[in-house]
Structure 1
Amino acid sequence: MKWLMGVLDTENNGTASGIFLSLPPIASNDPIISWVWSYIATVQMGQLTDRIEAANNLASLARDNDRNKKITVEEGGIPPLLKLLKESSSADAQIAAANALLVLANEQERVRSIVDEMGVPIVVQVLGDSLMKVQIPVAKLVVRMAEHDPVAQEDFAIENVIRPLVTLLSFETFVEDSKTHLGKQSIHSIVQINKEMEKFSSAGSTSRNYSYRPYSNSYSNLHMEGSSRGGNHRKERENEKPEVKLQLKINCAEALWMLAKGSVSNSRRITETKGLLCLAKLVEKEQGELQYNCLMAIMEITAAAESNSDLRRAAFKTNSPAAKAVIDQLLRVTKELDSPILQVPAIRSVGSLARTFPARETRVIGPLVTQLGNKDQEVAVEAAIALQKFASPENFLCMDHSKSIIEFNGIPPLMRLLRCGDKAQLHGVVLLCYLAIHAGDNEALEQARVLTALEGADRTVVGQHPDLKELVTKAIYQLNLYHTGVHPQRQLFAP
């Protein structure tokens, strides 16, 4: 008790930081606890400069090891850090609090502690209302929390974090675009652009109603309290250094990626904003980490669309400008960029959308077939997997797509893929089987000796993957039907 009274006696200590010099008796066997207690007490009750220093010291301690992180959370460090993040008028204090929370939020249980302390609405509020240099670590905090905890991932979406993220990500993007193309737009198009710009005009705006609510509410939440503060920050944003703007966009794109990952509902929420079109524009204009994060976000959204027909029909209609922009950029990255780290998510995204393309839309098939021969085996395998989704029996247009793959001369690189590693061989065999089943009468299959290759695969690949036995047998049977004059004895195979 004497030690505790000493903590509160700032007059004799001079400053609150003086309390760090003594250990409480209860902590004599574990000095870290006394440091944590002292820092937490100062974050809660100290002067502003001391609170900032204490938050930074908590972050430094937590970086050392997970035990220090656990102690900080167990001893009540999260509430004062959230209070400092929310209430402080100091950008430095908010940054210190955000960084400390960011260090703690690397594991599900600790993220859940932040969620339980009503941290999600506080983070969303600060993300919308703060300076760019504050928004950068706060957006990173959204990334970390959504990455490690599905509850946080969903709560962020419910609290409408997607809208300020898209707003910050689209800052300047659509302004430049509308200026560039203004002379080419119809009156109707200009009106639509103006409407969209109005939705995003208050970059800092977000709802202050923290009760859980359906996302399907009107856009009115965007212009509730905070609009004036958002407006005040707009000029500061415009005058900010380019590297600061870039880092914020990188973090916002990564946040959308983590929010969309494995979540149909969050992917739908992103597509219901300007998010999809914004991601496509940034893939077109940017490079490096920002371009990569945008591609990964698109990959997660398209994966969700693949698993959910309603989302697929709503977000990726053939006449949708956003969907068209996304497809154009995915194909551009696939064809023009010699970068496997970018080509893989682009190819995977095209494959996820295989069921959205009509038979006449063969422009997506050619680039994928070309990548079957890519010198990077991972890219070639991804191309084979994507083409499988076009030729699979689950695709209503599988026969048309199979013929297109062959017409684009897909058989030779596919046969070469069979001579690569196990994974390449596996996916090459699956794709060959689909082509044989749906376009077995094509002469290209006979000329490439596909039947012989599949018979060899029946002895090798099927041994390692018994679940392929039925598929390979059916493909061999189908090829025999069309080449009975050459190999009459092979009619003995039956599916």
Structure 2
Amino acid sequence: MAQHHKSIQQQLALQILLADRLVKSVKDLQPSKLDCSDLATLAAQLAHLLRSTARLVTSSSTTFYDRPLRSIFSNLSLNLERAQTLVRKCKQRSGILRQVFAITTAADVRKVSSLLESSIADIKWLLSVFVPDDNAGVNPSLPPIASNDPVLAWVWSNIATVHHSTQLKVRVDAANSLGSLAGDNDRNKKMIIEEDGIPPLLKLLKEGASPESQIAAAATLHALATDGEKISAFVRSMAIPTIVQVLNDSTSVVVRTNVINLLSKMAEIDPLVQEEFGRENVTRPIVTFLANDVVLDDIITTSGYQYHFNSSLSFNYKKETDVASPEEKLDLKISCARALWTLSKGSLSNTKKITETKALICLAKLIQHENQQLQINCLTTVTELTAVAESNAELRRQVFKPNLPAARTLLDQLLRVLNHEPNPELVVPAITTIGSLARTFPAKETRILGPLVSKLDNEVSDVTNETVMTLTKFVCPDNFNCVEHSKAILEFNGVPRIMGFLKSSDDIKIQVLGLKLLCYLALHVGNSNVLEEARVLSVIEGGARSVLTQYPDMRELFAKAMHHLNLYQPGVRTHKPAYVP
């Protein structure tokens, strides 16, 4: 451990001292002793190679990549000490301690010589990796120290090349090789990270020498970012500010896409990283990229609404200088939308940052005009933003009130999806979003509940299940307008559809969803003939008997609903006490 904390220069000085001392010790042997001259020759060769290594380290213009050197030194110290012990025994053979020490044989000398030869081969390999050779690329040979694990040598070679090569193409090839190794298995990923592979990749990404180099670095980092432990290594290497800086500086659409994919993956894996990206204001360039080529002025002009956050929209990123194809520009927008959803998921601070920009209007326009994956990603982003707002009244009031232009524009698109889109991947997040905003809609808002109720007839279970959960949010007692919303559901023929929903599945979880909705309707509009004609009381009683064993927390709600229905339906329960679970 102490050796690990020594600087590489200190370790080199120590190894040179040990090699010189071995040379001197061999020369001091009397001619009659066992021939150890080979040891002196090998030690002298080691000293020469170590001095060459020292010059290389000293002349390096950047921080020297020392992981392989430290590993080689660990073995070299042991080998030199073993050789020194052997020479010391040779000196003592004719002395009075002759009986104490084991008899030194030629086999012992050959064995120690072999160890020193291995160390020489390791250092030669090291020098071949670090000494610039613009045409050679990564050294394919295998040093003795990695003979039992060839991958280690490849990892060292590629990391060293990314770090030190003067040829950009060679560095890019090495970065791609690391990415290929990382893609093979998790062990390789861990090895690359443990051998300090992240810093040179971040350096290659940050330098911006070419789009190809940045893409190679970002792709390899993406392959390495697979769990929280690995993401922590990224954070320790200052990956977050580097990524944000690259986004601010890059002029390449493809580079931006790759870097945004990397940050999305990191933010999705680690909530702390998600928040740290927000503190670095990464949402600003992402929203700007997403809004590029999206016409927003018509909404602002027709609404007469001046955004109080206009100053936050003047993010001065560098315009693209490369020629990007429409497909590449679409990929960037898809990645931006996904990044906004991963950054906003469960994060109040990031959600506020995103909604302080023109993101909502931009998302609404893209939902309106785009299709497939971009449309899905934008809807998912809106779902995450509103999920955060659902639990924060201030955010709902400031951003998502239906009379605000951005919120109204978004609602128009949600309703369009609800009424006209057949794809469940679009319909489900639209329904979920409306549910998250259920407490923001006034009683006079009549456009929403009709389309929602109609979705109870949908053939896709995900759609009907989400619809029931969303309708429940409209009529739950926490919603100030729950009575008016309950009346609207009845007017849109919701009760027969809810009954059909209950009959369509034997899954108890699904039954609980529908029963909870019926209970709330019973509490708010229990005097309606619609409920009596649909025999809702009997359905709730039967449902209570079947689900209470697994959902005991529903007991009080069932009891209240049945009691309330009995107040208005006396003929149904004549001479029979109300069922109280």
TM range (shorter): 0.7 to 0.9
Superposed, which structure 2 residues align to 1:318-329 within 5 Å? 318-329=402-413
What displacement does 1:17 show? 4.4
Pairing partner for 1:268 from 348, 352, 358: 352
Q: Which residue of 2 aligns with 1:97?
A: 217
What displacement does 1:19 show? 4.9
Superposed, which structure 2 residues align to 1:72-151 within 5 Å? 72-130=192-250, 131-151=252-272
Q: Which residue of 1 aligns with 2:64?
A: none
Change (3 A) 1:491 1:400: farther
CA RMSD, 1 decimal: 2.2
What displacement does 1:12 show? 8.3
Paired AA for residue 529 in structure 2? E
Q: Which residue of 2 aligns with 1:29?
A: 148
Q: Which residue of 2 aligns with 1:330?
A: 414
CA contact (8 A) 1:437 1:475 kept: yes
CA contact (8 A) 2:523 2:561 kept: yes
CA contact (8 A) 1:6 1:19 kept: no
Distance in 1, Cα, partners of 2:132 & 2:512: 71
Pairing partner for 1:154 from 264, 275, 278: 275
CA contact (8 A) 1:391 1:402 kept: yes
CA contact (8 A) 2:312 2:357 kept: no
- What does the per-residue CA deviation read over 1:390-427, in whole Å, with 9 as the maximum and x for residues that have no partner? 11011121111111111111001100111122232110
Superposed, which structure 2 residues align to 1:157-168 within 5 Å? 157-168=278-289
Q: Which residue of 2 aligns with 1:443?
A: 529
Q: Does 1:452 align with 2:572?
A: no
Q: Which residue of 2 aligns with 1:472?
A: 558
CA contact (8 A) 1:477 1:491 kept: no
Distance in 2, Cα, partners of 1:249 & 1:320: 25
Change (3 A) 1:339 1:489: farther
Q: Does 1:485 align with 2:571?
A: yes
Distance in 1, Cα, partners of 2:131 & 2:457: 76
User: Tell me, what secondary structure is at the counterpart of 2:281?
Assistant: coil
CA contact (8 A) 1:279 1:294 kept: yes
What displacement does 1:463 show? 3.1
Distance in 2, Cα, partners of 1:459 & 1:99: 56
Distance in 2, Cα, partners of 1:148 & 1:463: 37
Paired AA for residue 405 in structure 1? I
Q: Using the TM superposition, name which of 465-474 and 144-153 deviates more.
A: 465-474
Show structure 1 runs of 4+ deviating over 6 A.
10-13
CA contact (8 A) 1:16 1:42 kept: no
Distance in 2, Cα, partners of 1:456 & 1:124: 58
Q: Does 1:347 align with 2:431?
A: yes
- What does the per-residue CA deviation read over 1:255-297, in whole Å, with 9 as the maximum and x for residues that have no partner? 0010011112111111011111111111111101101111111
What displacement does 1:448 show? 0.8
Q: Which residue of 1 aligns with 2:547?
A: 461
CA contact (8 A) 2:138 2:161 kept: no
Distance in 1, Cα, partners of 2:525 & 2:352: 36
Distance in 2, Cα, partners of 1:75 & 1:244: 34
Pairing partner for 2:379 from 290, 295, 314: 295
- What does the per-residue CA deviation read over 1:184-206, in whole Å, with 9 as the maximum and x for residues that have no partner? 748x56xx48995x8656xxxxx
Paired AA for residue 563 in structure 2? Y
Q: Which residue of 2 aligns with 1:366?
A: 450
CA contact (8 A) 1:302 1:353 kept: yes
Distance in 2, Cα, partners of 1:185 & 1:348: 29
Q: Which residue of 1 aligns with 2:163?
A: 44
- What does the per-residue CA deviation read over 1:162-204, in whole Å, with 9 as the maximum and x for residues that have no partner? 0000000000102xx43x679x748x56xx48995x8656xxx
Distance in 2, Cα, partners of 1:94 & 1:51: 11
- What does the per-residue CA deviation read over 1:404-456, in whole Å, with 9 as the maximum and x for residues that have no partner? 11111100110011112223211011100000111100111011111111111
What displacement does 1:4 show? 3.7
Q: Does 1:247 align with 2:331?
A: yes
Q: Does 1:315 align with 2:399?
A: yes
Paired AA for residue 431 in structure 2? I
Distance in 1, Cα, partners of 2:454 & 2:576: 32
Distance in 1, Cα, partners of 2:523 & 2:159: 67
Change (3 A) 1:268 1:13: closer
CA contact (8 A) 1:7 1:16 kept: no
Q: Quick one: percent identity of the two aligned structures?
A: 50
Distance in 1, Cα, partners of 2:372 & 2:472: 30
- Residue-pair matches, total: 458
Superposed, which structure 2 residues align to 1:226-241 within 5 Å? 230-231=318-319, 233=320, 236=322, 240-241=324-325
Change (3 A) 1:122 1:452: same
CA contact (8 A) 1:481 1:491 kept: no
Paired AA for residue 182 in structure 2? A
Gaps of 5+ in 2: 1-71, 73-119
Pairing partner for 1:172 from 282, 293, 315: 293
User: Tell me, what secondary structure is at the counterpart of 1:277?
Assistant: helix
Q: Which residue of 2 aligns with 1:425?
A: 511
What displacement does 1:25 show? 2.0
What displacement does 1:473 show? 1.8
Q: Which residue of 1 aligns with 2:78?
A: none
Paired AA for residue 312 in structure 1? R
Distance in 1, Cα, partners of 2:489 & 2:308: 42
Distance in 1, Cα, partners of 2:488 & 2:294: 37
Distance in 2, Cα, partners of 1:469 & 1:318: 36
What displacement does 1:56 show? 0.1
What's the TM-score, normalizing by structure 1? 0.88
User: Tell me, what secondary structure is at the counterpart of 2:401?
Assistant: coil
Distance in 1, Cα, partners of 2:129 & 2:478: 72
Paired AA for residue 428 in structure 1? G
Distance in 2, Cα, partners of 1:492 & 1:113: 63
- What does the per-residue CA deviation read over 1:40-90, in whole Å, with 9 as the maximum and x for residues that have no partner? 000000121110000000000000011100000000000000000001321
- What does the per-residue CA deviation read over 1:344-381, in whole Å, with 9 as the maximum and x for residues that have no partner? 11101100101001111121111111111111111001
Task: Flag the structure with more relative contact order, 1 or 2, with Cα contacts below 8 A and sequence separation at least 6.
Answer: 1
What displacement does 1:475 show? 0.9
Paired AA for residue 126 in structure 1? V
Change (3 A) 1:319 1:28: same
Change (3 A) 1:480 1:12: closer
Paired AA for residue 279 in structure 1? L
Paired AA for residue 524 in structure 2? H
Paired AA for residue 447 in structure 1? E
User: Tell me, what secondary structure is at the counterpart of 2:470?
Assistant: helix
Q: Does 1:434 align with 2:553?
A: no
